[in-house]
């Protein structure tokens, strides 16, 4: 049995969930917030990061490690080519996206998504690095129609988790979608992915959980405001 721990508000959680759905594997989900200090959680994911999984009683963390394990343990349907070099090319795309696109764009998430503020120096640095890295990334992608070629692969799960998130973050924090500005036409590609039942389910459940989180935040703010008025 497989248990996926984390939150559908996490892009890397949704990457793993998408692979589980594409492979038709039975799994359960357990809500787990990131950066937990609980010892039981840290035994599975030492930095408290999500997602992590429990597979046959053993735990794994780091999304790429997890999906590579799923591919090896449950090879049908395949999400990498049978050819070793072709499989490596898929993983090359995954690594490039996560190291040089997502991790750089992540520096903007505090302002783009969580109401924080990022310094102008950080913004300038992110813009310069992403502009360079996205131009390089464009040399690797195919979009014919999927990111590595004709078939849906692990690289598409990574792209689903990365490209729209970074595009939205740069638009919100920098005033420009740097992914589109690099000539990477991600919106039609995402629409193509959206034809897949697995993506439709991930999207719907993320939307549901996001709306619930926003409602809870609004309710907490209203309660705090009411309590402040009573004290006043």
Domains contained in the chain, CATH given: 2-73 (3.40.30.10), 84-193 (1.20.1050.10)
Segments in the chain below pLDDT 50 = none
Please give the pLDDT value at position 42. 97
Report the pLDDT value the prediction gives residue 215, as an integer from 0 to 100: 84
pLDDT at 200: 98
User: Model-level pTM?
Assistant: 0.94
Question: For 72-79, which contacts have Cβ atoms below 8 Å and span 24 or more sequence positions?
Answer: 74/23, 74/25, 76/23, 77/22, 77/23, 77/24, 79/19, 79/22, 79/23, 79/152, 79/153, 79/154, 79/157
At residue 232, the pLDDT reads 64
- pLDDT the model gives residue 222: 74
Residue 218 has what pLDDT? 78
Residue 220, pLDDT score: 73
């Amino acid at each position: 049995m497989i248990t996926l721990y984390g939150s559908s508000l996490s892009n890397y959680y949704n990457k793993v969930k998408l692979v589980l759905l594409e492979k038709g594997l039975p799994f359960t989900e357990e809500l787990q917030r990131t950066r937990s200090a609980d010892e039981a959680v840290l035994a599975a994911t030492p930095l408290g990061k999500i997602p992590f999984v429990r597979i046959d009683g053993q735990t794994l963390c780091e999304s790429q490690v997890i999906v590579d394990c799923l591919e090896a343990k449950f090879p049908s349907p395949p999400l990498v080519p049978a050819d070793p070099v072709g499989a490596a090319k898929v993983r090359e795309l995954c690594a490039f996206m996560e190291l040089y696109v997502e991790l750089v764009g992540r520096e903007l998430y505090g302002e783009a998504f969580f109401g924080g503020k990022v310094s102008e120096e950080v913004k300038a640095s992110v813009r310069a690095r992403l502009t360079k890295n996205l131009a390089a990334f464009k040399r690797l992608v195919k979009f014919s129609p999927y990111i590595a070629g004709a078939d849906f692969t692990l690289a598409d799960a990574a792209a689903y988790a990365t490209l729209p998130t970074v595009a939205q973050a740069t638009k919100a924090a920098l005033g420009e979608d740097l992914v589109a500005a690099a000539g990477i036409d991600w919106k039609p590609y995402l629409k193509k992915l959206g034809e897949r039942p697995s993506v439709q389910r991930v999207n719907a459940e993320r939307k549901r959980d996001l709306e619930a989180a926003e409602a809870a935040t609004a309710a907490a703010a209203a309660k705090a405001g009411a309590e402040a008025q009573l004290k006043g």
